[in-house]
Amino acid sequence: MKKRKKRKNSASSRTVTDITQNIRFLKPDSTFRFECSRCSECCRNAENSIMLESYDLYRLAVHLRNTGHRVNGIEDIMNEYTDLKTLGDSDFPIFLMKTRGQRNECVFLKDGRCSVYDVRPRACRLYPLGAWPNDTLDGFDYFVASQRQFHFKGAAIKAGDWMDEHFSSEDRAITLLDGKATVELAPILHDLQKGDAPRDRILHLMITFKYVFFELDEPFKPQYMRNIAHLKQTLPSLGKNRR
């Protein structure tokens, strides 16, 4: 595995707020108004707002490698196109899409169009809605992101209908896995944080096995399940080894 470039990994409450502010939860039969005018404004003023899941990074890496870019693995995508943060004061890493220019445009916006449209992140595919597993991990909570009010016009659309069109069965299955992994890893990280386990080591393991350690020519889901199982087994030993 290539040596990872050194990054800032300090997070602030502002990062979390930027991702979750201005959202309103919806039921499947709730309606919202939305009309895409292909203005690309959802790709601008995007600093700290497009979070990339493990599967998003994998899909981008496969696509860019297969279209002639110099990509050997997910780490190339992370180094080139993302910023590393952690959630609050925890050791749970997240990756946010880099932006550029005075208008903080997504790095993949080219000539006013998304250059990776077919493999754009889940946050972009579902926009202006979002979804995250519910408390029982057997379905989803839907929400609408209303920062850009000028998009909310046109015909009324049911949230469930929008998700049926834009949230594939594969995406749903992997998002449920991701939600389950988050629930299982959070208390482990919390316990480690209360002790004197080495935080650099915790963060390194989380980044490696939640995001990096994937072969691009192998299916994502079984690799993800293997990696999360490894984290659940390995992370608790960091606290034991320090006692």
Q: Report if residue 6 sits inside a domain.
A: no
In tens, the pLDDT along 149-171 reads: 667 888 899 999 999 999 999 99
Q: Report if residue 87 sits inside a domain.
A: yes
Which residue did the predictor score with more confidence, 243 or 207? 207
Q: Report if residue 7 sits inside a domain.
A: no
Q: Report if residue 5 sits inside a domain.
A: no
Answer whether 177's CB lies under 8 Å from 224's CB: yes
Lowest mean pLDDT, pick from 32-41, 148-157, 224-233: 148-157
How many independent structural domains does the chain possess?
A: 1
Q: Report if residue 85 sits inside a domain.
A: yes
Answer whether 171's CB lies under 8 Å from 56's CB: no
Q: How many Å apart are CA 8 and CA 206, to the nearest integer?
A: 15
pLDDT (average), residues 120-126: 96
Q: Report if residue 133 sits inside a domain.
A: yes
In tens, the pLDDT along 45-99 reads: 999 989 999 999 999 999 999 999 999 999 999 999 999 999 877 889 999 999 9
Q: How many Å apart are CA 187 and CA 166, to the nearest integer?
A: 32
Q: Is 13 a residue whose pLDDT tops 50?
A: no
Q: Which domain holds residue 61?
A: 13-240
- Averaged pLDDT of the chain: 88
